[in-house]
Copies of this chain bind each other. A is one copy, B any other.
Amino acid sequence: MKKNKKNIFYAQSGGVTPVINATAAGLIDSLSKNQNKYGKLLIGKNGIAGAINEELIDVAREKKTEIKKLIHTPGGAFGSCRIKLKDHKKNKKEFERILEVFKAHNIGYFLYNGGGDSQDTTLKLSEFCTTNNYDLKCIGLPKTIDNDLPVTDNCPGYGSVAKYIATSTYEASLDVASMANSSTKVFLLEVMGRHAGWLAASSGIIKNISKDPPHIILFPEIEFNEKNFLSKVKNCINKNDYCVIVASEGIKDNYGEFLAASKTKDSFGHAHLGGVAPKLSNLITNKLGYKVHWAVSDYLQRAARHISSSTDVKQAYAIGYASLNLINKGIDGVMLTIKSKKGGSYKWSVGYTNLSNVANIEKKLPKNYITKDGYGITAKCRKYINNLVYGEDYPPFKNGVPDYAKLKHPLVPKKLRKFK
């Protein structure tokens, strides 16, 4: 009987989040209640690379005590990847290989946990399988700290990083406010967000009155104007004695060039950014003479499971759990979404949309989420973010540090030759 039941392939893709493993945990728990319908859960080692290289992790052979820790473990516990498959109409070699591996391992379900690029991969694979008459149900599971996927009300991963950024900005603001009288006047935090300012915006929720930090938020949606920015910094210090700035890594000058552009690009072809903070810091010190402290949180923000939002953890888990329910209903070619109910207190549920509605589309910060001067967030934006950062969900600690899952990645035996 077991033999006829198709196996499930799941993988994590793109930049990881503090809660992507909570999605895996939801899927694993859901599978344990649907054992009569499915075969094994095989997880791609390093995302889609696991399918191509026939490196399939046999989750059932991982220690149960470690699997239980997935819900509170950051990073991609099974390995992620930055691999964008070539267009299957021009180069179908990779797609054929994936099908070969899936056939060899009796895989009938493809669950891909990622952002916009990964939804594109899922859509392409779905189309390729239809063309080639291979019955593969393809479901996209959203994940991105950037919160830039369309249709879904928000993306699992964002709420936790938003909570980290808001908390960190608040804390560092208290620090610089203490020091400003005789030392540092400006604190500048660089946060992620290549094209969308959702993460930079999250710092704005700590501001209650106009003198509160952050005093300046720099969004990638707003063209950076050096003169205007410097005058804003100066006015702020004259008024408050200190200035807190949160800058998105993706801010651009009036030529449309990244302020922090470096020559390296990732395999998706995106410029690899980093370095806006020292650049702006030098600018302020050179032009205005103030002492500046700057921080670049980089992976620290993306992995900060110790300060995750419990709302975010619940949503990430629910996405994983709901994915099998969707398959049970025969639904295919969709990405799961978070839907919020309008009006009253925040309530949400899991929905879905066709992959073609989300693949390769970036949702930027809406205009009415940014204040008219371009340096802050509106009440509407704040309300949206407040809902997502709500609630604490601490990992257990052992010897003073979080007790995160340690997996072994046991692979199922290979059946095929190596892929070249």
Spell out A's residues near B (CB within 8 Å).
12, 15-16, 18, 46-47, 49, 73-77, 79-83, 163, 166-168, 170-179, 181-183, 187, 189, 205-206, 264, 266-267, 272, 274-275, 277-278, 285, 291, 293-300, 302-307, 309, 386, 389-392, 394, 397, 399-402, 404
B166, B168, B309: the one contacting A300 at CB < 8 Å is: B168
A354 to chain B, nearest CB (A): 28
**B-chain residues with CB within 8 Å of residue A163 when the two chains form the complex:** 400-401
Known: A12-B178, A75-B177. 5 other contacts (CB 8 A): A15-B179, A79-B177, A168-B300, A171-B305, A183-B266
Set B82, B171, B296, B389: member contacting A182, Cβ < 8 A: B82
**A306: which of B171, B187, B285, B397 is its contact (CB, 8 Å)?**
B171
Residue numbers in B under 8 Å from A309 (CB-CB): 400
Q: What are 7 contact pairs spanning A and B, CB under 8 A?
A: A12-B178, A46-B182, A75-B175, A168-B303, A171-B300, A293-B298, A295-B295
Chain B residues whose CB sits within 8 angstroms of the CB of A46 once the complex forms: 181-182
Inter-chain contact B298/A179, CB cutoff 8 Å: no
Q: Are B294 and A182 in contact (CB under 8 A)?
A: no
**A16 shortest CB reach to chain B, Å:** 5
Chain B residues within 8 Å of A390, by CB? 399-400
Contact partner of A74 (CB less than 8 A), chosen from B171, B181, B386, is B171
The chain B residue with its CB closest to the CB of A50 is B181
CA distance A400 to B264 in the complex (A): 36
B79 touches A401 (CB 8 A): no
Name the distance in Å between A291's Cβ and chain B's nearest Cβ.
Answer: 7
Chain B residue numbers with a CB within 8 Å of A179 are 15-16, 76, 80-82
Closest 5 interchain pairs by CB?
Answer: A75-B174, A76-B178, A389-B400, A171-B303, A295-B298
User: What separation, in Å, do the CA atoms of A181 and B48 have in the docked complex?
Assistant: 11
CB of A178 within 8 A of CB of B305, answer no
Question: Could you say which of B170, B187, B189, B386 contacts A402, with CB atoms under 8 Å apart?
Answer: B170
A348 to chain B, nearest CB (A): 15
Complex CA–CA separation, A163 to B291 (angstroms): 28
Provide the bound-state CA to CA distance between A139 and B264, in Å.
54
Which residues of chain B have C-beta atoms less than 8 A from A274's C-beta?
278, 293-294
Q: Point out the residues of chain B lying under 8 angstroms from A182, CB to CB.
A: 46-47, 49, 81-83, 267
Question: Please, which residues of chain B bring their CB within 8 A of the CB of A206?
Answer: 401
Chain B residues in 8 Å Cβ range of A307: 306-307
Q: How far is the CA of A174 from the CA of B406 in the complex (A)?
A: 10
List the B side residues contacting A77 at CB < 8 Å.
Answer: 174, 178
User: When the two chains form their complex, are residues A302 and B175 in contact, meaning their CB atoms are under 8 A apart?
Assistant: yes
Among A46, A175, A391, max chain B CB count under 10 A is at: A175
Residues of B within 8 A of A272 (CB): 291
Check B183 against A303 for contact (C-beta < 8 Å): no
Is A178 in contact with B80, judged by CB distance below 8 angstroms? yes
A296 to B83, CA, bound (A): 28
Which of A76, A77, A400, A404 is most buried by chain B, counting CB atoms within 10 A of its CB? A400
Smallest Cβ distance from A203 to chain B, in angstroms? 10
CB distance from A176 to the nearest CB of B (A): 6
Query: Contact between A81 and B183 (Cβ–Cβ < 8 Å)?
Result: yes
| A207 shortest CB reach to chain B, Å | 11
Measured between beta carbons, the chain B residues less than 8 angstroms from A298 are 172, 293-295
Contact A386–B400 (Cβ < 8 Å): yes
Chain B residue, CB-CB nearest to A285: B264
Contacts of A275 in B (CB 8 A): 278
Assuming the contacts A178-B80, A275-B278, A300-B172, asked whether A401 and B73 have C-beta atoms less than 8 A apart, the reply is no
Q: How far, in angstroms, from A378 to B294 measured CA to CA in the complex?
A: 32
With contacts A182-B81, A183-B81, A298-B293 taken as known, whether A174 is within 8 angstroms of B404 at the C-beta atoms is yes
A403 to B206 Cα, complex, angstroms: 10
